[in-house]
Amino acid sequence: MEAQEVVQKFVDAFRANDLDTCMDCVSADFKFSGPVPEPQSAEQWMGMVKGMHAAMPDINYNLQITGAHDNHVHMETQLTGTHTAEWDLTPLGIGVVPATGKSFSNPAEAGTMTVANGKITSYEIESSPQGGLPGILKQLGIERPS
């Protein structure tokens, strides 16, 4: 399977919230980096995604493939949603945050998925200060401990 086909399968599953299929598309040593404080394994990233879906059922990542070169598939994502349920941010040292009822809309951010041996090995997002998890927290008025 070509790199872009693997990534398209992942994107389709991600849009359908089929995280089991997403996990089937990534390698054992997969790393997600950019809009998070430190790189995450597939399990850590999917755990964060599940938590975001629980807290913001209308979350939309607006994932789009914008191009490909060899084993690198270029993406764009723009997160939007409304915080309508508790959000467990204990791993960030924040604790469980009650629903704020606030909406957020992050700027579009570019990223690259790298594929090797038919599996996605990394997803790196070129995060802006207003984007990613920090952008969501700021828009929702959630303070991170210093």
Per-residue DSSP letter, 17: T
Give the whole-angstrom CA distance, residue 74 versus residue 41: 20
Q: Is residue 61 part of a domain?
A: yes
Q: How do residues 41-96 score in pLDDT, each as one tens digit?
A: 999 988 888 899 999 999 998 999 999 999 999 999 999 999 999 999 888 788 89
Q: Is residue 145 part of a domain?
A: no
Total domain count, the chain? 1
- Across all residues in the chain, what is the average pLDDT? 92
Q: Scanning the structure block, which residue is given the tokens 């995604």?
A: 49
Q: Is residue 146 part of a domain?
A: no
Q: Is residue 144 part of a domain?
A: no
Contacts 24+ apart (CB under 8 A), 60-69: 61/14, 61/15, 62/108, 63/11, 63/14, 63/15, 64/11, 65/4, 65/7, 65/8, 65/11, 66/110, 68/3, 68/4, 68/7
The enclosing domain of 126 has a CATH number of 3.10.450.50
Domain span at 27 = 3-139
Percent of the chain topping pLDDT 70: 99
Percent of the chain topping pLDDT 90: 73
